[in-house]
């Protein structure tokens, strides 16, 4: 990550965290779910996906805090999947503390994850933008959420497959990882009424960014060796970086900062 983005993230992270907590505490109709959600969120996390929309607002000369609803929505969806993932994978700990299912029960973990998905829809209603743009954002968030769930479903189909094909791997990554990054990068552009050409480029970029992000994560987890996936990781990452550094859109949108 570029230093400028890291400085920005550190500057706005605390206020963004407060926004997340304040929003959850206001949900009086779901007190039990709120308790579990706060327990999970307070365990930590990078908040990378949530801060990206705020940074794009900043680059566009807008108040980054106006993008907090977008950042909160993607963080809530992301954390919904983590709560469900821990349960499905049987992982007892998340960020050094008992996972939600381990602390509250398997049944309550399902409820907590489901609630996170609903929080995303509710918090988006606080976004200030043109009604036409807002409808496009809703379409994007529903589509991204469904892709994440499909990616998880696809992963279970190949869980015990030793010789995983590259295409199978890429399909899972596009669903589980790239889809939420697409929402993080594209939703602020939709809210700001960006040029449709730039929006389509941002979608393409987010797919590549998600791939690069997941490849590095899976490399450290030994996934390629486990499933015998043949992939020249350094070459792929370099190709992705070169592809975008050479495009005028990438430089104009300042997205290059996410690779440099």
Give tens-digit pLDDT for 3-23. 588 889 899 999 999 999 999
> Greater confidence, 229 or 139?
139
Give me the pLDDT at residue 260, please: 37
SS3 97: strand
Mean pLDDT of 135-141: 97
- Look up tokens 């801060």; give the residue: 51
Question: Is 70 exceeded by the pLDDT of residue 247?
Answer: no
User: 162 near 187, Cβ under 8 Å?
Assistant: no
Mean pLDDT of 105-112: 97
Give the domain ranges of the chain: 1-128, 129-260
Task: Say what percent of the chain tops pLDDT 70.
Answer: 87
Average pLDDT, the chain: 86
Give me the pLDDT at residue 227, please: 61
Identical topology for domains 1-128 and 129-260: yes
SS3 243: helix
List the CATH code of the domain at 1-128.
1.10.600.10
Question: Is 70 exceeded by the pLDDT of residue 204?
Answer: yes
> Greater confidence, 2 or 64?
64
Q: Angle at which helices 196-221 and 179-191 pack, to 10 degrees?
A: 150
Mean pLDDT of 234-255: 62
Give me the pLDDT at residue 253, please: 46
Structure tokens that stand for 201 in this block: 């480029």
Which CA distances in Å does 98 have to 39, 47, 91?
10, 20, 9
**Strand partners for 97:** 94
Structure tokens that stand for 76 in this block: 């809530």
Give me the pLDDT at residue 65, please: 97
d(CA 147, CA 90): 22
Q: Which of 114-128, 150-164, 191-205, 220-234 has the highest mean pLDDT?
A: 114-128
End-to-end CA distance of the chain: 6
Handedness of CA 167, 172, 174, 178 (dihedral sign): negative
CATH architecture of the region 129-260: Orthogonal Bundle (1.10)
Give me the pLDDT at residue 155, please: 81
Mean pLDDT of 164-168: 75
- What lies within 8 Å, CB to CB, of 50 at 6+ separation is 16, 20, 71, 72, 74, 75, 78, 184
Handedness of CA 102, 107, 108, 113 (dihedral sign): positive
Tell me the per-residue pLDDT of 46-91, one tens digit each, with 9 for 90 and over: 999 999 999 999 988 999 999 999 999 999 999 999 999 999 999 9
Apex 222 CA angle, 106 and 148, nearest 5: 45
**Residue 233 confidence class, pLDDT cut points 50, 70, 90:** low
Question: Is 70 exceeded by the pLDDT of residue 193?
Answer: yes
**Counting every residue, how long is the chain?**
260
- Look up tokens 């399909």; give the residue: 171
Give me the pLDDT at residue 223, please: 62
> Greater confidence, 6 or 32?
32
């Amino acid at each position: 990550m570029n230093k400028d983005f890291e400085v920005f993230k550190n500057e706005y992270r605390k206020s963004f965290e407060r926004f997340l907590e304040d929003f959850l505490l206001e949900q009086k109709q779901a007190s039990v779910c709120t308790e579990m959600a706060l327990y999970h969120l307070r365990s930590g996390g990078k908040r990378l996906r949530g801060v990206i929309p705020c940074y794009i607002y900043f680059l566009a000369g807008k108040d980054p805090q106006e993008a907090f609803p977008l950042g909160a929505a993607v963080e809530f969806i992301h954390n919904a999947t983590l709560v469900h993932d821990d349960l499905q994978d049987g992982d007892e700990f998340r960020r050094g503390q008992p996972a939600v299912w381990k602390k509250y029960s398997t049944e309550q973990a399902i409820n907590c994850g489901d609630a996170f998905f609903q929080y995303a829809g509710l918090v988006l209603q606080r976004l200030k933008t043109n009604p036409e743009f807002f409808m496009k954002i809703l379409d994007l968030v529903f589509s991204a959420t469904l892709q994440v769930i499909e990616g998880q479903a696809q992963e279970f189909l190949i869980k015990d497959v030793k010789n995983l094909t590259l295409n199978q791997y890429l399909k899972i990554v596009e669903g589980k990882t790239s889809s939420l990054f697409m929402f993080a990068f594209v939703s602020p552009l939709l809210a700001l009424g960006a040029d449709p050409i730039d929006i389509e480029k941002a979608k393409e970029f987010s797919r590549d960014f998600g791939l690069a992000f997941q490849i590095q994560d899976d490399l450290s987890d030994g996934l390629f060796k486990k499933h015998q996936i043949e992939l020249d990781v350094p070459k792929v990452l370099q190709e992705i970086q070169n592809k975008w550094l050479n495009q005028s859109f990438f430089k104009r949108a300042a997205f290059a900062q996410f690779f440099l």
